[in-house]
A and B are shown apart, each in its own frame.
Chain A
C-alpha cells in the first residue's frame, strides 16, 4: 500500500446544501483515494446528483470544505472544477448536437482566438486519447447522427481532453447495452490503473459490485455507510439504501391467461428521419397475464408503447384490441375502448406538474360527464373523485388541491397509477412504473399491477429494470434493435436474457 504517502483525490468535509425546505445534502463526509473507482449508490432523491453538482461547480454548498489532492479548493463554477482536474460525464449529455465531435471537444479549450490554430492540435490529441483508452469515434461525425453509446464516448473524451484526473459518471449505463456497459467498465478500469480517480453514481447494485473498489450509500441526503466493495453484498447495500430488509421479489400467484386482448401483427414504426424503431413486431397479450418486454432503453420499446397507445402513428402493421383493429386510433379513442396507459415519463407525459392533484387525476378522462355536464367542468366533482383515489392509494399528502410538483416521485407515480387502474381497463399498458420511485411505493405499485392481472385484465409491461421484468412477468419478450428477438419464461437466467438484450442470439 503506497496510498499513505498520497493525499486522497477527493475529501468532502461537512458538505451541506438546502434548496428551500429540501435538505438535499446533510453534513456529507467522504474520502476517495486516488486511483480508485468509488461508487455512490442511492435511490432517486437521495442527494447524489446534488453532491456531484457541487463537486462540478454547478451549485455551491451552503457549508463545508472540499479538498482536491489534499488542497482546499473552492469550486465556484465549471471552469474551477475543470481547473481542479474534475471532469463530468452527465446523464443527459452536454453536447452541441449539430456540431462535429471535434467541435464539441474543442468547445472551451479551443487553443486560441482563431480556430484554425487549435483544430490540428485537437485532432492529434483526440487520436492519442482514442488509442490510449480505446475510445474510438470519428472526429468529423455530427453528434446528432451518432448512436447513443458513441455520444457518451464523446462526453468521456471531452473530460479527458480537458485533463481530468477525477472523472464523475452520472448513471452512465441507462442508455447502454450490457456489452457497451462492459466496455465502459473496461475503460474505467484502464483509467483507474493509470492513476485516475472515478466516481460512479448509480442506482444499480450489480454495477457497484462489478466495478467499484469502494462504495458509499446515500439515503435522504446523508451518507449512511461507506464500504470496501469486496467486503459487502448486494443485500447489505440494498438494506442500507432503504433502511430495512427489502424483498427483491414480488409475491405472485400463477397466471390464468384467457382470451387474447391485445394482438400486434407485423408492426413497424419509423421515426421522423425514416429510421426503423420498431421492426416487424408481432405478439399477443391475453387477459389475466402480464407480458413483460425486456430491453435496454432505446431499442424501440418506447416507440412500440407509443404506437399501441395511439401517441404515434405506426408505419405499417396491425394492432387489434379484443378483435377491433385500432392502429391509428388516437389516445382518447383507445381510452374509450378500455385501454389504460401508465407512461414511461410521468413528468412530461403522465402528469402536468403545475396542475393541482385533482386535475391530474382526470387527465385523459376529463371529457367524462361525471366531471361536469356538457362542455363544462365542475371542480368540486373533480376533487371529490380525486379524494377517493387518494384514500385508496394512500397518496401523501392527501390534498387534491396541492400542486402536483410538490408531491414526491413515488406519490406522483401513484397518482398516475390510480388514475389508470381505477378506470377498470381491459388492457393496461405500463412503462417504467417504478423509475424514480422509493421502495415503499415500488412494492405498492407492483402489488396493484399484479392485482390488475388477477382481476382478469391484460397487462403489457415495459421496463429497463430486468429484476422488475423477471419478478412481475408471466412471459418475457426481449427487444433488441426494434425486433422481438425471443420469448422466455421468467425463471430464465439473467445472463441469457442479457445476451439477448445485447443482440446475441440465445
Chain B
C-alpha cells in the first residue's frame, strides 16, 4: 500500500499530525533539560505558569505573539503566491525605520490615534520597499527569492546599524537609538482589555498593535480567499504555467505579493518600537522574522492557524524568560533550542508520522 498518497481525513492532517510533532519537540527539549540536570516537568510547569499564570505573563505572551502574527502573515501571503520570503526579519527592521520617522515627526503635535494610521502606513511602506528589490529581481531576472531575501536581511541590518549610529542617534548619548517618542508617538497599552477578563497587565507591553494584528489577519483572509487578486496569487503559487495561460501577469503579481508581504513584516515593528520601547533601537526584531516562518508553517499558512501558532511561540518566549529566572542553568537560549526543535518537527519533519498514522487509521476504519 502506498502510504504517501493515501488521503487522510483533513482533521488528521491539520490537527493530529502537527500536535504529534509538537509533542516530539517538547520531548526532545525535555531531554536536553534533563541532561543539564534540571527536572523537565518542573521546567514545563514553570514555563506555562510564567506565560499564562498571571495577567502580566499573559500580557507578555500576547505581546510576543503580536510580533509573530505579523511576520507569520507576511510569510503566509508570499507563500500562497509560491514565494518563500525569508526576508521578513530585514523587512521588519526597515519597517521600524518607517514607523519611527512618522512617530518622530508627529509625536509633538498630535495624539496617538492620529499618529497610528500614518505609522502603520510608514511601517508597511518601508517594509514593502525593502522587499521590492528582491521581488523585482525574482520577477524580471529570475533570481531566487530565498537567496536574495536572506542577503537583504544582512544588508538591512548593516543599513539600520549605520543609520542608528550615525543619523538617528541622540547627540551626546552613547546608545545607538533614536530619541524616545512622546505620548503622541506611542501606542497605548491594552490594560483595559486585560481588566475586562479580570487580569492585571502590570508592566507587560501588550498594546494596541495586537488589535491591529488581528485586523490584518482578517484582511489577509479576505485577500487570499475572497478577492480576485488572491485567486491570482494562489493560481500563481500552485501552477506558474496555468497562471500564464489564465493571463495572470507574473511580474505584477510577484511584486504586489512581496509588497504586501514586506508591508506586513514592516508592521511588526509597530509592536516593539511604538508599543513597547517608544524608540528605535538596534536589533529590536530579535529573530521574529524567522519565527514567522515557523509560525506560518505550523499555522498552515492560514490566519487562524497563524494566530494559534503565534500564541504558542509567545508562550515559549515568555515562559522561557520566566524559566531562566527560576532555573538559571537554563539560560534564555533554551528557548531558541525549543524554537528550533518546533520548527524542525513541525516544519521539516511534518510528515514523519504519516505512514504510521495511515496504518493506524486503516486499522480503525477497516473494523
Contact = CB atoms under 8 A, between A and B. Distances in A.
A349 B1 contact: no
Chain B, interface SS category: helix
Interface in B196-252: 222, 226-232, 234-235, 238-239, 241-242, 244-249
Contact of B247 (A364, A377, A379): A364
B229 A375 contact: yes
Nearest to A22: B5
A376 B239 contact: no
B246 A363 contact: yes
B14 interface: no
Interface in A433-474: none
Q: Which of A62, A333, A372, A377 counts the most chain B CB atoms within 10 A?
A: A377
A372 B229 CA distance: 12
Nearest to A371: B228
B242 A351 contact: yes
Given A20-B5, A330-B247, A352 B228 contact: no
A366 B249 contact: no
Interface in A374-388: 375-379
A505 B247 CA distance: 38
Interface of A, helix, strand, loop or mixed by DSSP:
loop
Interface residues of A, number: 36
B228 A375 contact: yes
Interface centre among B244, B246, B248, by most A CB within 10 Å? B246
B172 interface: no
Given A375-B227, A375-B228, A375-B229, A352 B239 contact: yes
A332 interface: yes
B367 interface: no
Contacts of B244: 311, 331, 349
B245 A366 contact: no
Contacts of B246: 331-332, 363-364, 366
Interface in A350-396: 350-355, 359, 363-364, 366-367, 372, 375-379
Interface in B156-193: none
Interface in A83-117: none
Interface stretch (A146-154, A263-271, A340-348): A340-348
Nearest to A60: B2
Given A62-B1, A331-B246, A377 B241 contact: no
B37 interface: no
Nearest to B235: A352
B7 interface: yes
A18 interface: yes
B227 A376 contact: yes
A341 B241 CA distance: 14
A377 B239 contact: no
Interface string A38-66: 00000000000000000000010010000
Given A352-B235, A366-B232, A375-B228, A20 B7 contact: yes
A302 B231 CA distance: 27
Nearest to B229: A375
A286 interface: no
A343 B231 CA distance: 20
A329 to B, nearest CB: 9
Given A18-B1, A19-B5, A364 B245 contact: yes
Contacts of A331: 244-247
Contacts of B226: 372, 376-379
Interface string B124-145: 0000000000000000000000
Given A348-B239, A352-B239, A376-B226, A20 B247 contact: no
Contact of B238 (A352, A366, A376, A378): A352
B6 interface: yes
Nearest to A335: B247
Contacts of B227: 375-377
B271 to A, nearest CB: 29
Interface string B5-49: 111000000000000000000000000000000000000000000
Contacts of A334: 247
A90 B241 CA distance: 24
Contact of B228 (A345, A349, A355, A366): A366
B82 to A, nearest CB: 12
Contacts of A377: 226-228, 230-231
Interface string B284-301: 000000000000000000
18 contacts: A20-B5, A20-B7, A62-B1, A309-B245, A310-B247, A330-B249, A332-B247, A349-B239, A349-B244, A352-B234, A352-B235, A363-B245, A366-B246, A367-B228, A372-B228, A375-B228, A376-B228, A379-B226
Q: What are the 8 closest A-B residue pairs judged by CB atoms, nearest first?
A: A332-B247, A331-B247, A364-B246, A349-B245, A348-B241, A352-B238, A375-B227, A349-B241
Given A348-B239, A363-B235, 4 more contacts: A359-B231, A375-B227, A377-B231, A378-B226
